[in-house]
Each structure stands twice: as C-alpha cells, then as structure tokens.
Amino acid sequence: MCARFTMTQEDKALLAEFEAKTIDEQYRQSYNLAPTQLAPVIISQKPEAIQLFHFGLVPFWSKDKKSSYSMMNARQETVLENNTYKPLMLHNKRCLVLADGFYEWKTEGKKKLPYRFVLLNRKAFAFAGLWSQWKSEDKKEVYESFTILTTTPNEQVATLHNRMPVILTKEEEKLWLANDVPPAELIKLCDPYPDEEMKMYPVSTEVNKAVNNHQDLILPMNSK
C-alpha cells in the first residue's frame, strides 16, 4: 500500500533527474502527499513535461470523483484482469509518479507510528502509475488523476506492511512509458525494490494528519 509519499526536491533538480524540459508552474515541494492532492507525474504521451495530477484514480467513466480514495493503489498481480486498470495498461495510460520517499506505519497499541522509506543512492525516483482523465457531464471540469501500483514487500517494508509501491529503476522508467513493450512484459518489472538499496527511519506522528505538510515531517525522530 502507498497512501502517503513525499517529493521534497526543488523544480530544477527534478527536471534534471528526469531529463524533462518543463514543469508545471504550480509545482511545490511536499512533505506529506495524500489522496486527492496534486503530485508530479510524467505520462507517456508527453515525456518531456512534468505535470501535476491528483493522487487517487477517478476513471473517465465515473459519475463523480468519489472513487479517488478507494483507487489510490492498484495491485500489480491483477492489474491486467481488472476492468478499470486493464484498459489503461493496454492503451498506454501509464505514468511515472515522482517521489523521494514514502510512509508506512507501525501499530503499537492505539498508536500509529510513521516511518519514512527512502532510497540510498537516488534522491528522487518514480513509482509505476496509471492515469485517467475524467470530465464532468457539462465538460467544464477536467480532472486528471493517477493510481500507484503495489507489489509484495521487500524485507524492510514487510516489517510494517504486506504491500509496497512499485519503484522503478532508471532503465525501467523508460520501458514503463514505452509504446512497444507488451503489458505482460511490463508487469514483470513490478517486483519489490532491492531491500539493501533502501532505508527506513521513524518520523513525527504529525505525518498522520494529511493537513500537516512542512519540512520537519521528514526529520528522523532522534535528530529533533
């Protein structure tokens, strides 16, 4: 599962990391990205641009936008069987969801203690995502949104949760957006990210509330 993540890189660093030419002028660093909020993505149809889409998928055929919370994640094992996600895979509505960390929680009694996961050798990376464009009946509102694919966890993440987001390597990012790679082959990319290339650390319980979004949220608890 991936319900919260971070993107704390400045726009210039993000452009350089993903070899993009433009970034949405509304882009802002975020320390606690939650469902319905805008997050940076790169879609296959416009790989040179970093755009902002809403976290939590709203399919184009949906009557309203209420599905965003229930569709923030898609299981990679069934994505080619699911009636919502399969067409997005087949018609290349795939995207890179840009991040530099994500949160999971440890439950101790009634407490939910958050931990942040980051990569050791990459300041920013991409989750494998699927996106869709929804329009209101009167066509006046356009809502672009995405879901993050999840897979079985590596050993670190497994200490807290039975799922983890699909993190792509630099080489896999290009394949995920490609038009000439069969979807069945792309699913093979959705394996757990190597445990030894990640680290986790405890952070403030302020993360538990989505309204909190400031740089102190990503500080290790023992450094405060």
Q: Could you give the residue numbers annotated as active site?
A: 2, 104
d(CA 72, CA 173): 20
202, 115 contact by CB (below 8 A): yes
Q: Which residues lie closer than 8 Å to 73 by C-beta, 6 or more apart?
A: 1, 2, 3, 147, 148, 149, 150, 163, 165
